[in-house]
C-alpha cells in the first residue's frame, strides 16, 4: 500500500521568514490543509539570535533592514526557482516602520525578483481581511517584544488606511516567543478588547496566536485576525486556491476571494 509522500499537492506557497523564527512555519503548517505545500526561505534578522532569542524589545533598525536588499531579495529569487504559486512575507513589523507605501514598493521589488510571482505581505493582507469581514474599527494587539514606538507605528499604519484603532498596548505576557501560552493570551485579549470595536487584530508573525482564534471569536463575538492567519488566507487566494474547508482558525476562511490584486 502506498502512502503520501508529499509530492502531490494542489498548491505550493513560498514563505519568507526570519532566520531563527519557527513561529510562521509552525502556525502556517497547523492551519494549511494537507494538500498545500509550504516552502520557507530564511532571511537574516539582526534582532534575533540562534534559537529565536531576542532582547526584551526589538530595535527599529534591524526591522527596517529586514525589508531591504539584499537578503530578502535573494531569498525571494531562490524561492521562485521552486514550483511555488505565490510568496508570503511573514514579517509584521517592517510594514509598521516603512509604512504602506514602502510595503507596496517592497512587494513590487520582490515580485520582480521572483519572476513575477504574486507576493503577499502580512499587514496588507490584514487590511484586506478587515474589509472582507466588514470592520471599520479594530483592537490592535501587539507582541510583548514590540516597544511603545513600534506599537504606535502599527496603530498609525491602520489609521492611515481609514480604520479606527483602539490599542491597549503590547500584550504584557513574557517577552519570549517560547513562553507564550494560549490560555493567558486568550484571557488577556478577551479582558482588554473594547466593546465598541468591530474586530480584533493580533500582530506579529512570531507571536503564538492562531490556537486562540476560535475561542476568542466565541468569547468576544467578533472576527479575530492574526498575522499568520491573514497571510495564509491572502497567499492561497493569490495562488488561485480556495480557503474553504479550513476550520477552527476563524470565520475569515469562509470569506470569498477579495477583489483586486493581492
pLDDT tens-digit profile of 131-150?
999 999 999 999 999 999 99
Tell me: pLDDT of 1 over 80. Answer: no
pLDDT of residue 169: 77
pLDDT of residue 133: 96
Q: Are residues 51 and 69 in the same domain?
A: yes
Secondary structure (3-state) at 20: coil
Mean pLDDT of all residues belonging to the chain: 94
Q: Are residues 35 and 154 in the same domain?
A: no
pLDDT of residue 8: 82
pLDDT tens-digit profile of 222-249?
999 999 999 999 999 999 999 988 999 9
pLDDT of residue 72: 98
Is residue 2 included in any domain, yes or no?
no
pLDDT of residue 52: 84
Q: Are residues 221 and 136 in the same domain?
A: yes
This prediction has a pTM of 0.96
Q: How many domains does the chain have?
A: 2
pLDDT of residue 259: 66
Q: Are residues 115 and 21 in the same domain?
A: yes
Tell me: pLDDT of 214 over 90. Answer: yes
What domain range includes position 70? 11-126+228-254
Amino acid at each position: 500500500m502506498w502512502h503520501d509522500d508529499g509530492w502531490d499537492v494542489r498548491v505550493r506557497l513560498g514563505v519568507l521568514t526570519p532566520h531563527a523564527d519557527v513561529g510562521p512555519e509552525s502556525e502556517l503548517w497547523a492551519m494549511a490543509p494537507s494538500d498545500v505545500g509550504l516552502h520557507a526561505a530564511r532571511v537574516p534578522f539582526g534582532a534575533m539570535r540562534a534559537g529565536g532569542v531576542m532582547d526584551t524589545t526589538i530595535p527599529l533598525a534591524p526591522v527596517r533592514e529586514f525589508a531591504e536588499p539584499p537578503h530578502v531579495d535573494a531569498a525571494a529569487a531562490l524561492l521562485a526557482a521552486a514550483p511555488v504559486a505565490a510568496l508570503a512575507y511573514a514579517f509584521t513589523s517592517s510594514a509598521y516602520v516603512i509604512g504602506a507605501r514602502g510595503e507596496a514598493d517592497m512587494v513590487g521589488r520582490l515580485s520582480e525578483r521572483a519572476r513575477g510571482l504574486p507576493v503577499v505581505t502580512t499587514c496588507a493582507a490584514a487590511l484586506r481581511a478587515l474589509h472582507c469581514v466588514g470592520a471599520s474599527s479594530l483592537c490592535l494587539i501587539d507582541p510583548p517584544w514590540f516597544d511603545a514606538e513600534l506599537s504606535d507605528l502599527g496603530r498609525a499604519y491602520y489609521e492611515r488606511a481609514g480604520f479606527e484603532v483602539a490599542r491597549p498596548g503590547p500584550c504584557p505576557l513574557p517577552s519570549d516567543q517560547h513562553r507564550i501560552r494560549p490560555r493567558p493570551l486568550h484571557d488577556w485579549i478577551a479582558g482588554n478588547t473594547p466593546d465598541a470595536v468591530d474586530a480584533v487584530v493580533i500582530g506579529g508573525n512570531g507571536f503564538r496566536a492562531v490556537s486562540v482564534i476560535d475561542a476568542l471569536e466565541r468569547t468576544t463575538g467578533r472576527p479575530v485576525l492574526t498575522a499568520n492567519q491573514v497571510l495564509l488566507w491572502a497567499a492561497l487566494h493569490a495562488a488561485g486556491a480556495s480557503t474553504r474547508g479550513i476550520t477552527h482558525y476563524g470565520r475569515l476562511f469562509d470569506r470569498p476571494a477579495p477583489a483586486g490584486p493581492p
